[in-house]
A and B are shown apart, each in its own frame.
Chain A
Amino acid sequence: MKLNRRRFLGTTALALAAGVRILPARAATLKVAIVMPGNITDKSWSQAGYEGIERIKNELGVDTAYSEKVAQPDQAEAMADYARRGYNIVIGHGGEFQEAANHVAADFPETTFIVHNGTEVSANVATLDFAYRQFGYALGTIAGRMSKSGKAGFIGAQKIKFSTDLVESYTNAFQKATNGGEVLVAWTNDWDDIAKGKEAALNQLSQGADIVFPTMDNAAIGSLQALKEKSAWGFGLYYDAIADWPDTVLQSAIMDIKAAMFDVIKLATENKLEVKNYKFGIDKPDPAAGRLGTFHSAVPAEVVAEVEALVASMQDGSFQP
């Protein structure tokens, strides 16, 4: 009995000592989970989220987890589950997670939630998005300088903040550069229908547009193909599209969510994460996340210089589109 008690005390002390040593080590390992709307092989938004979280795991040594194909009714439960299991940061991958995040965040004040393309910042809900207007304005300026007909096209799938911001700034810049030119806008209501993307672009060309900016993920390929066939100009999105469309793409708006989320979680590992809106513009704060691509050789040097000056004025804050 005595021995037992002594042994008991000893082991307890050991366990406590071990616990004390283990606890801070545990706290230092950040746990990050991401909840995504689509599957991780969609070659687009959710795949980018998955690749982003994998990079965070491998390069930052963070514990990560992910859920794919989370439907709207399950969003709150999926996020709450990660918070309950002790994940410090739970990411909702897409603006549609905003309401679920707001709802869950109130119950888990210790957890930080990040909503990609989110619109509302609260006590423990941060957001991450891109300064779409900067990209739209830069491309609109190029379109205005390169258009011979004074008409440009814009094709979107659905009216969400991403596309309305882009179309507004693109139109403003185009009209300013051409002194009142016209931008034809078409909405296809489908992110996948390539054939319709192509017809929409052909339609705009037949109405006199000579430069078109397609923004519907998968379906944009159809539009670019129409532009290529008719030797008209277009713009790329998300990556430097001139590599695939050397005769068609004048410039690309590169918005890389993988690099952006990496930057934000890196801040968290350095204990510098603030609950606020992280906005990635052209070259600022990180050119890896948001930048313009390669100019087509047909763009004259003075236009390149004008766009570079424009970007510089956006960065020093003297101009915000």
Chain B
Amino acid sequence: MIDILTDPTQLADFLATSLRLSVPIIFAALGGVLSERSGVFNIGLEGMLLAGCFGAAVGAYFFGTPFAGVAVGMFFGLLGALILAYLSITLGVSQIVSGIAINMLMLGLTAFLSRIVFEGQANTMTLSGFKPIAIPLLSQIPVLGPVFFNQDLLVYVMYAMVAGGLWLMYRTRWGLNVRAVGENPRAVDTAGISVVGLRYACVLTSGAIAGLGGCYLVLSQIFLFSEHMSAGKGFIALAAVILGRWNPLGALLACLLFGVFDALQLRLQFANPEVPYQAFVILPYAVSILALVGLVGKPTPPAAVGIPYKREAK
């Protein structure tokens, strides 16, 4: 346990594990931030993540290149989001119920389709994936360099998305519109901007980004598809959205916090075999709850989130 503080290689190993455990959650959380900022709860992140996993496997399997995997994975995530958008924006169905429905649908659908598409080979194949690319100079920084700058393409895409998301959200007219539609859609409508169009754009993009998290799981980590491989990461992302206060950078930090404690608990188990393992397994969750209560204070979500917009409604 103490070796991660004294031994640089162990520390680098530990941080690398933390990052790898965080990346899929970060993608999903970025999608969640975008969707909720526009006023739509995306409970279906878990399902879109899983759809992204399946799409990534399908793309890489049939076209033999991870780039095709990314394209198909994002598209499948987007399809999942299309269901949410249609149900919640167009039909005005409860966003929570639609999201849960998507999670259950994707769990069954991806399992069913993978048996047809991969004919029982899903668990044993090795798909082509991304290889780590070292960034010159930056990767030479002791300890942190190899952890953060000797990663594969999707991790760099994630960095770019956080930076791009911040810029888009707080420095552009489009970002202002998105934030406004989540706070007061009637004001946006009065200004002559389409509420429905903006929300559709945000929810669909949110699904594609969550799908990218699934692509990372398949194309950078595991190189195969397995049923229910998202294993609840989409739900952790939901908590990270709140913990990160609906801000892309905040969501990134929240996910990293979770990843660090998840990696830590794996190590604590070895060092303390006499303590029941459940005590360590809950550590990342317990820390998230404490941080939610202690650090963030009272979170204030976008004012119009969860409320379907109807122009004629009083």
Q: Looking across the interface, which residue of chain A has its beta carbon closest to that of B122? A: A43
Given A189-B281, A206-B13, A221-B123, decide whether A198 and B221 contact each other with a Cβ distance below 8 A: yes
Q: Are A195 and B221 in contact, with the CB atoms below 8 A? A: yes
**Which B residues touch A234, using CB under 8 A?**
none
CB distance from A211 to the nearest CB of B (A): 15
Using CB atoms and an 8 Å cutoff, list the residues of chain B in contact with chain A: 10, 13, 17, 20-21, 24, 111, 115, 120, 123-124, 217, 221-224, 226-229, 231-232, 262-263, 266-267, 269-270, 273, 277-278, 281
Q: Are A185 and B270 in contact, with the CB atoms below 8 A? A: yes
**Which A residues touch B10, using CB under 8 A?**
206
Whether a CB of chain B sits under 8 angstroms from the CB of A199 is: yes
Q: Please, how many angstroms separate the alpha-carbon atoms of A200 and B17 in the complex?
A: 9
Whether a CB of chain B sits under 8 angstroms from the CB of A202 is: yes
Chain A positions 159-176 with a Cβ under 8 Å from a chain B Cβ: 159
**Which A residues touch B217, using CB under 8 A?**
194-195
Taken residue by residue from 180 to 215, chain A's Cβ proximity to chain B (1 for < 8 Å, 0 otherwise) reads as 000011111110111110111011101100000000
**Which B residues touch A188, using CB under 8 A?**
281
Q: Are A186 and B223 in contact, with the CB atoms below 8 A? A: no
CB distance from A281 to the nearest CB of B (A): 28
The residue from A184, A190, A198, A206 contacting B222, defined by CB atoms under 8 A apart = A198
**Which A residues touch B111, using CB under 8 A?**
41
The residue from A41, A186, A194, A196 contacting B269, defined by CB atoms under 8 A apart = A186
Q: Are A194 and B229 in contact, with the CB atoms below 8 A? A: yes
**Which B residues touch A190, using CB under 8 A?**
231-232
Q: Looking across the interface, which residue of chain A has its beta carbon closest to that of B231? A: A193
- Report 19 cross-chain contacts, Cβ distance below 8 Å, ordered by A residue: A43-B123, A185-B270, A186-B270, A187-B277, A192-B229, A193-B229, A195-B24, A195-B217, A195-B221, A196-B231, A198-B222, A199-B17, A199-B20, A199-B21, A204-B270, A206-B13, A221-B226, A225-B224, A244-B124
Q: Are A189 and B277 in contact, with the CB atoms below 8 A? A: yes
Q: Are A185 and B273 in contact, with the CB atoms below 8 A? A: yes
The residue from A187, A194, A204 contacting B226, defined by CB atoms under 8 A apart = A194
**Which B residues touch A290, using CB under 8 A?**
none
Chain A interface residue number, banded: 20 to 34
The residue from B221, B270, B278 contacting A189, defined by CB atoms under 8 A apart = B278
**Which A residues touch B231, using CB under 8 A?**
190, 192-196, 219
Whether a CB of chain B sits under 8 angstroms from the CB of A92 is: no
Q: Are A192 and B221 in contact, with the CB atoms below 8 A? A: no
Whether a CB of chain B sits under 8 angstroms from the CB of A64 is: no
Q: Looking across the interface, which residue of chain A has its beta carbon closest to that of B270? A: A184
Q: Looking across the interface, which residue of chain B has its beta carbon closest to that of A244? A: B124
Q: Please, how many angstroms separate the alpha-carbon atoms of A198 and B262 in the complex?
A: 13
**Which B residues touch A189, using CB under 8 A?**
277-278, 281
Q: Are B227 and A203 in contact, with the CB atoms below 8 A? A: no
CB distance from B17 to the nearest CB of A (A): 5
**Which B residues touch A140, using CB under 8 A?**
none
Given A187-B277, A225-B222, decide whether A41 and B266 contact each other with a Cβ distance below 8 A: no
CB distance from B29 to the nearest CB of A (A): 16
The residue from A43, A184, A185, A204 contacting B227, defined by CB atoms under 8 A apart = A43
Q: Please, how many angstroms separate the alpha-carbon atoms of A221 and B115 in the complex?
A: 17
Q: Please, how many angstroms separate the alpha-carbon atoms of A159 and B281 in the complex?
A: 12
Q: Are B17 and A202 in contact, with the CB atoms below 8 A? A: yes
**Which B residues touch A221, using CB under 8 A?**
123-124, 222, 224, 226
The residue from B120, B222, B278 contacting A195, defined by CB atoms under 8 A apart = B222
